[in-house]
Amino acid sequence: MRILILEDEIPATKKLAHYLTIFFGESVVLDSTRTVKGGVELLERNLNYNLILSDIKLLDGNSFDVFRNVETRVPIVFCTAYDEHLLEAFQTNGIAYILKPYQENELQLALKKFEKLFQPKMVEKDIFRQLQEVLDTRDKNYKKRFAIKKPDGIKLLNTSDICLIQANGDFCKIFDSNGHLHSISKSIGALIQEVNPKHFFKINRSQIVGIEHIERIEPYSKNRLALNIKGLKEHAITSTSATKKFRMWLES
């Protein structure tokens, strides 16, 4: 039994590891990470996980960023502080969840459900989409503009004018439709949560594009796509894992 824990809080990770060892025995192999980046790297190594325990909020984004970048069929028990109404999507999909603070008896019930019901063919392919829809509908007040700090004051940048968002360390670069470059002290994981998913798509680990400013789309190597974006000289390239979802997004 090999299990991956995605959890940003170290005490919570230790508690889960302790409970998992009690339930499955000392032979269970546990990997853990606090970040989206770490989760992507572990899943890309094809370590044949039997189960994933995942919090929604991680240090550099949320767990959906992991599953957008790496397609996986591994069953997931979501461990979260969100209330039951937000998680109703899980109750009909055969995937359990537990609420923080974690209790041993609650985790045991979830693990027993996993043992009883799980078969590889029973993994619900739409679980991420369903929960994401619930999260999206929780708050429709997406950002209409960002306040950008400039040497001479603060500039208001309308999201409708954003062509591309590029991750750059602890902050992001934003390119607008007039060819201007702006910097904002937010991670790409935070920004993708603040913009409307109908108009913006994260095409790879470090770039978000605005649909209104895509001028041309061309085939690229390894089933990827090259996007010609208004005002930018270089193409933006979709990742292999994001290409299929990007095609669907374009037509939605």
Closest CA to 68 of 188, 210, 160: 188
CB contact at 8 A, 205 and 40: yes
The reported pLDDT for the residue numbered 183 is 94
Give the single-character DSSP code of 120.
G
Segment (H or E) for 190: helix 188-194
Answer yes or no: are the C-beta atoms of 66 and 18 closer than 8 Å. Answer: no
Tell me the C-alpha distance between 203 and 184, whole Å. 19
> ∠64-162-248 over CA atoms, to 5°?
45
| Dihedral angle computed from the Cα positions of residues 180, 184, 188 and 189, in that order, rounded to the nearest 10 degrees | -150
**pLDDT of 94:** 41
Residue 57 confidence (pLDDT)? 86
Confidence (pLDDT) at 134: 63
Contact 164, 153 (CB under 8 A): no
Cα–Cα distances in Å, from 223 out to 66, 72, 250?
20, 18, 16
pTM above 0.85, yes or no: no
The answer regarding whether domain 2-138 maps to CATH 3.40.50.2300 reads yes
Whether 2-138 shares its CATH topology with 145-251 is answered: no
Give the model confidence (pLDDT) of 76-93 as tens digits.
888 877 654 355 435 433
Domain at 145-251: CATH code: 2.40.50.1020
Secondary structure of 161-189 in HEC code, one letter for each residue:
HEEEEEEECCEEEEEECCCCEEEECCCHH
Distances (CA, A) of 171 to 115, 149, 208: 42, 13, 14
Which pLDDT value is given to residue 131? 65
**Domain-wise residue ranges, the chain:** 2-138, 145-251
Position 82 scores a pLDDT of 61
Output the six-digit token pair for 161: 């004018």
C-alpha 28/C-alpha 102 separation (Å) is 20
Predicted confidence pLDDT, tens digits, the chain (252 residues): 899 999 999 999 999 999 999 988 888 999 999 999 999 999 998 788 999 998 888 998 888 888 888 888 888 888 877 654 355 435 433 467 777 787 888 888 888 888 876 654 444 445 666 666 666 655 567 889 999 998 889 999 999 999 999 999 889 999 998 889 999 999 999 999 899 998 999 999 999 999 999 999 999 988 899 999 998 989 999 999 999 999 989 887
pLDDT of amino acid 83: 57
Amino acid at 209: V
